[in-house]
Amino acid sequence: MSRLFLVVVIFIAIYLLLKYYRKQLPKEDVPGEDASKQRENMVRCAHCGVHLPKGESIMLDHKHYCSEAHRREHIDEPE
């Protein structure tokens, strides 16, 4: 009977330690709370068609490009 009591006490102590440890960990970002602040519209490169965030694109004449090289190549192409 004393062994059973000892096992129960050990399990309770482990449970309480884990609970305390989990409270000390920093909370992770919950999707949906600040996701709208971090989201950015995606645009398509006018030259190669790859999609990239609007903030990372290079824009010229209302067209978006993934790199300066693609911007130059697209301008040099005859339409």
Q: Where are the domains of the chain?
A: 41-79
State yes or no: pLDDT of 6 exceeds 80.
Answer: yes
Give pLDDT tens digits for 9-67.
999 999 999 999 988 887 766 565 555 567 889 999 988 889 999 989 988 888 899 99
| Confidence (pLDDT) at 37 | 60
Question: Could you tell me the CA-to-CA distances from 15 to 4, 5, 7, 41, 42 in Å, in that order?
Answer: 17, 15, 12, 45, 46
Question: Could you tell me the CA-to-CA distances from 56 to 7, 19, 48 in Å, in that order?
Answer: 58, 43, 15
Q: Which residue has the higher pLDDT, 34 or 71?
A: 71
| Confidence (pLDDT) at 29 | 61
Confidence category of residue 1, pLDDT binned at 50, 70, 90:
confident
